[in-house]
Amino acid sequence: MLEITNLHASVGDKPILKGLTLSVPAGEVHAIMGPNGAGKSTLSNVLGGKPGYEVTAGSVTFRGEDLLALEPHERAAKGLFLGFQYPVEIPGVSNVQFLRESLNAQRKARGEEPLSGGEFLKLAKDKAGLLKMDMEMLKRQVNVGFSGGEKKRAEMVQMGILDPAFAVLDETDSGLDIDALRIVGAGINAIMRAPDKAVLLITHYQRLLDVVKPDKVSILAGGRIVETGGPELALRLEAEGYDAVMA
């Protein structure tokens, strides 16, 4: 579903990704772990198309198409969802308005009929319930006044509503307490565990992987994938640390 080949990317003049190759087929949850500064967030930003990240070599193919040739909103309409490490506050815009416009923009790009206000609210209520989030919060401004944990939960509600084929989740577990972590993990499973979907899960910790059991685990270090294995690789990292495992 997602094929990354020899990807090189820079921020400003600084090369961050240096020949990253990774393949994530449909039906797979692939966890990416790695030390600070390895390029994990750069990978997710390059996949999302964030301005300021320049791809200098390599390719990314998503569902058979050149992902890098698409604008961020076109990537979303093709089924890519980017879960932000730091979800952005948008004062003056309600979650409901933002998500309804977003979903209908995606549907329009795919040649589907827009959802009516009633249909959308029903869907939003359903997905908010999945993440145990009060509908009242969705009527509030996007992420404004939300705690760190609420922002991450709201990201997952957004993912549920937009129903992507592929999710890149950048440290979705950071800032979550133990209960919220379970809820978010269960949400990821409910929304994304399907034969025709896949997830790239960027994380520092084993805790989330206990809930969202990954099929594969890769270590990203120095801008490239240095090792790929099964779930046991994450357990080894947790026990021994990056230096020992990569030595």
Partner 1 sequence: MTLATLPTRRDEAWRYADMDGLARLGVAALDQWQAIDVPAGESVTRCLVVGSDAPELHRFRVTLGEGATAAFFVTNAGGDYTRVEVEVRLAKGAHFEFGGVTIGGAGVTREFVTQVVHAEPEATSNQTVRAVHWAGATGNFLGEIKVARHAQKTDAAQDFKGLLLEAGASANAVPQLEIFADDVKCAHGATVGALEEAARFYMMARGLDPATAQRLLVQAFIGDAFVALEDEAERETLLDAALAALEGAKL
d(CA 115, CA 213): 33
CB of 152 to partner 1, least distance (A): 14
Residue 82 near residue 44 (C-beta atoms within 8 A): yes
| Segment 97-105 long-range contacts (CB within 8 Å, at least 24 positions apart) | 98/142, 99/124, 99/138, 99/158, 99/161, 99/162, 100/124, 102/76, 102/158, 102/162, 103/161, 103/162, 105/73, 105/77
- Regarding 46 and contact with partner 1 (CB under 8 A), the answer is no
Quote the tokens at residue 243: 């230096």
Residue 165 near residue 198 (C-beta atoms within 8 A): yes
Stated length of the chain = 247
- Regarding 106 and contact with partner 1 (CB under 8 A), the answer is yes
- Regarding 88 and contact with partner 1 (CB under 8 A), the answer is yes
- Regarding 172 and contact with partner 1 (CB under 8 A), the answer is no
- Regarding 91 and contact with partner 1 (CB under 8 A), the answer is yes
* Footprint on residues 180-219 left by partner 1 (CB under 8 A): none
Which range of residues in 65-73, 112-120, 213-221, 228-236 is near partner 1 by CB under 8 A?
65-73
Rank residues 23 and 97 by Cβ distance to partner 1 and give the closer one. Answer: 97
CB of 103 to partner 1, least distance (A): 7
- Regarding 49 and contact with partner 1 (CB under 8 A), the answer is yes
Query: What's CA 81's distance to the chain center, in Å?
Result: 6
Which range of residues in 32-40, 58-66, 77-85, 227-235 is near partner 1 by CB under 8 A?
77-85
Q: What Cα–Cα distance (Å) separates residue 12 from each residue in 16, 72, 181?
A: 10, 19, 35
Q: How many residues bind partner 1 (CB under 8 A)?
A: 30
Residue 4 near residue 46 (C-beta atoms within 8 A): no
Q: Which string of DSSP letters, residue by residue, matches 217-240?
A: EEEEETTEEEEEE-HHHHHHHHHH
Among 23, 61, 97, 189, binds partner 1 (CB under 8 A): 97
Which range of residues in 15-23, 35-43, 70-78, 194-202 is near partner 1 by CB under 8 A?
70-78
- Regarding 137 and contact with partner 1 (CB under 8 A), the answer is no
Backbone angles phi, psi at 4, to 5 degrees: -105, 125
CB of 89 to partner 1, least distance (A): 8
Rank residues 112 and 240 by Cβ distance to partner 1 and give the closer one. Answer: 112
- Contact set with partner 1 (CB under 8 A): 48-51, 71-73, 75-77, 82, 84, 87-93, 97-99, 101-103, 105-106, 109, 158, 162
